Structure 1
Amino acid sequence: MSTGLERQGGGRDMDISIITINYNSSAHTVNCIRSVFDSIAAHKLKIEMIVVDNNSESSDFVYLKRSISALNHNNLILVESHKNTGFAYGNMLGANQATGKYLFFLNNDCMFRTDVLQQLFEFMEQNPAAGVVPRFIGEDGKYSSSFGYMPSVINQWLGYSLCRLFNRAAYPEKKAWHGKPLEVSVISGAAMFLRRSDFNEIGGFDTNYFLYCEEEDICIRFRNGLKTVWCLPDAEISHAGGGSTNRSLLIEKEFYISLFYFLSKNYGWLDASLIKFRYVIKELLRYVRNSKRWPVALFLLSGPHLGRSLRHIQQCRDRS
C-alpha cells in the first residue's frame, strides 16, 4: 500500500479532524469540502479535513486534485491510495494523518445544515464517555435515520416493531422526531464523531471489512469499553446516500460477506448461526418472489467468507 500526501497549510493539534473518502464521486466530495469550510467561519474551532482518494478513475482524481488546489484552504489534506481498500481501511489511512482531539468520519455525500461541528464538539466536551452522530435529512428534506439497532436473535426473528412493544427505550423510532439527545446502540457510518483517544483505544476500524458493518463493529467495541453512543437531533446534515456506491450484485454479496464476518467475530456460535440462518431464509424467500435473485441466494448458501470480498480482488492503479 502506498499513499500520496499533500497538505495545504501546516497546522497541527487540531480540535477536529474530518475524514472523508472519495471514490469516483469527486463532485460530491468537493461540495462536502465547501460545506465544511463554509461552516467553520462562525466559530474558533481548529479544523483540518483529510480527503482519502480510494483509487478513483484518473479523470475523477484529477478533477478532485485540481479542485482542492483551487479551493486553497489551510489544513486541507489529500491522501492518495493506489488501491481501493474500502471504507474501513480508507478511513484508517485518513485517521493516521489526523491530529485532532476528535475524529469526524464523514461521507462525501453529506453537507451541513446547522453549525454541526460546534454542536457535536460541545456535546462531546460535556459527555466524556460518548460518541455521537448528527441527524440526517434526506434529499427530499425529510428526516432520515442516522442510527440503527444491534442485531440479535430476538429482533431478527421477531422483528424490530414487536421488540419495541416490550422495550421502547432499546428500539426508538428511526424516523420519528426526537427532541433531545438519544442514546442508541448503533450510529450510522455516514457521520461518526468520536474522541481520537477512544478510537485508538479500541483499535480503530477493523480493516477486514470492505464496505458494510464497520459501524456495528466499532459500536459494539465502543460499548464493550463502557462508552455510549448518541444521536444529536439538533445537529443536522443533509445526506444524499449512495453517493459513491452503485447497487449491484457484487455489492449485495459484499453486504453478506461483511455481515457474516461481523456475526462470527462478535457473537457466540449459536447466536451467530441463528441470525445467519434467518438471513438465508429471507434471501430464499426473495428468490421465490424474484427468480433473478438466484445468484445472491446461491452465493449465500455457498458461504460468504472474507476471501471472496472485493477487498482482495482490487487492482492497483499507477498514476506515476
Structure 2
Amino acid sequence: MITASIVTFHTKHDELARLIECVRRSSIDHLYIIDNSSNDELREFIKSHESAHYIHSLNLGYGSGHNIAIRKSIEIGADYHVVLNPDIYWDGDVIGELTKYMDRNPDVGQVMPKIIYPSGETQYLCKLLPTPIDLIGRRFMPIRSYRKKHDYNYELHWTNYDKIMEVPLLSGCFMFLRVSVLEKVGGFDDRYFMYAEDFDLCRRIGEISKTVFYPFVSVTHVYEKGSYKNKKLLKYHIQSIIKYFNKWGWFFDTKRGARNKKCIQTIKLL
C-alpha cells in the first residue's frame, strides 16, 4: 500500500488539481491533503476528488502537517509514503517505477527521482551534508563565480546526475519513503516550522538505511524559491538553519565529514 501527503497553504486550485490528477493516475492508494490555511476554503474543492482525504489543521509548520499523514500511513500499515510539494507534477508511471526499485532494495529508506524544471533542465537537488558555509555563506555570497564553483561540489554537479547513487541529502519536494523506516526515525522534527526539515529527516533516515537518487524517472518541480523573494519566508529559513546546526553541530560534526567523504568515494567508483 502506498500513501501520499500534500501540505497546502492557500494553494492555487489549478496547481493542486494538477498534482491530484497525477496522484489519481498513479498507484498511490490514499492521498492526505493537510491544509494549513487560515480557512478551509479548499474543503469543497477537494470534495470533487474522491481519492483525496482533506484535513484542516492548525498551522504548526510544513513538517508537522506531513506528520499527520505519516502517522496515518503507519496506522493503516502502508509500505511506502510519498511527501509531495504542491508545485510537483509528472507524466508516466513514476510511482510504479520507484516502488519496484524500493521492493528490490529493502536496504533503501528513501529514493528521489530526477527533478526537473518545467523547461526540462535538471534541478541539482542531490547534496552533501551541509556546513554553515554551504547554507549561510552560499545564500548571501554575492560573488557569482564563487557560488558556481561551490555548488559544483556541494550539489554534486560533477556526477552528471545520470546514475543511481547513494546521496546523503535529497530534496524534500518529492520524498518516496519506506514507512517502516519512517516509524523508526519518527517522521519530521516538529521544531522546524518551514525549511531544513527535509535535511534533518533525510539525515536521520541515512543513519539507518540508504538514501538514493534514481535518475531513470523524473518529476517536474516549479520551484519558486520563496525565501529569495519574501522576507518572512527568509526569516523562517534562517531560523531553521540555526536549529539544524544547533542540533547536528556547526563546525564540529564528525559524522558529516565521514558521510560526505564516503559519498564522494563511492560515486567515483561507479
TM-score (norm 2): 0.79
Q: Which residue in the other structure is 2:17 paired with? A: 30
Equivalent residue, structure 2, for 1:70: 48
Look up the match of 2:93. Answer: 115
Distance in 1 (CA, whole Å) between partners of 2:228 and 2:161 is 31
Tell me if 1:271 matches 2:252. yes
Distance in 2, matches of 1:30 and 1:246, equals: 26
Residues in 1 aligned to 2:225 and 2:241: alpha-carbon distance in whole angstroms: 21
Given the alignment of the two structures, is residue 17 of structure 1 paired with residue 3 of structure 2, yes or no?
yes
Query: What corresponds to 1:249 in structure 2?
Result: 231
1:242 CA drift (Å): 3.2
Determine the C-alpha separation between the residues in 2 that align with 1:117 and 1:141.
19
What's the CA shift for 1:238?
1.0
Tell me, yes or no, if structure 1 residue 91 matches structure 2 residue 66.
yes
The structure-2 alpha-carbon separation of the partners of 1:96 and 1:149, relative to structure 1 and needing over 3 Å to count, comes to same
TM-fit CA distance, 1:77: 1.0
Equivalent residue, structure 2, for 1:173? 157
Q: For residues 42-68 of structure 1, what are the alpha-carbon distances to aligned partners after superposition, in whole Å with 9 as ceiling and x for unaligned?
A: xxx4621111101x243xx42x32232
Query: What percent identity do the matched residue pairs reach?
Result: 23
C-alpha change, 1:161 and 1:246, in structure 2 (3 Å) is closer
Contact 1:186/1:216 (<8 A) preserved: yes
Residue 184 of structure 1 corresponds to which residue in structure 2?
167
- 2:124 matched residue in structure 1: 145
Partner Cα distance (2:19, 2:166) in 1: 27
Displacement after TM superposition at 1:139 (Å): 2.1
Q: Which residue of 2 aligns with 1:134?
A: 113
* Larger Rg over CA atoms: 1
- Contact 1:103/1:196 (CA < 8 Å) preserved in 2? yes
1:162 CA displacement: 6.4
Please give the secondary structure, in 2, of the residue aligned with 1:187.
coil
Name the CA distance, whole Å, in 2 between partners of 1:246 and 1:53: 24
Partner amino acid for 1:248? N
SS at match of 1:144: coil
User: What is the CA–CA distance in structure 2 between the aligned matches of 1:271 and 1:208, rounded to whole Å?
Assistant: 22
The whole-number CA distance in structure 2 between the counterparts of 1:255 and 1:124 is 32
Q: Which runs of 5+ in 2 are unaligned?
A: 138-145, 254-270
Distance (whole Å) between structure 2 residues aligned to residue 37 and residue 146 of structure 1: 26
- Distance in 2 (CA, whole Å) between partners of 1:33 and 1:57 is 21
User: 1:206 aligns to what SS in structure 2?
Assistant: coil
**Over aligned residue pairs, what C-alpha RMSD do you find?**
2.7
Q: Is the 8 A contact 1:153 1:271 kept in 2?
A: no
Q: SS where residue 71 of structure 1 aligns? A: coil
1:79 and 1:94 in contact (8 A); partners too: no
For residue 195 of structure 1, report the CA deviation from its aligned partner.
Answer: 0.6
> Structure 1: any 5+ residue segments left out of the alignment?
1-14, 273-320
1:22–1:244 CA contact under 8 A, matched in 2: no
Task: Report the secondary structure of 1:231's partner residue.
Answer: strand
TM-score, normalization by structure 1: 0.67
Residue-pair matches, total: 239
Deviates more, 1:187-196 or 1:23-32: 23-32
8 Å Cα contact 2:22/2:89 also seen in 1: yes
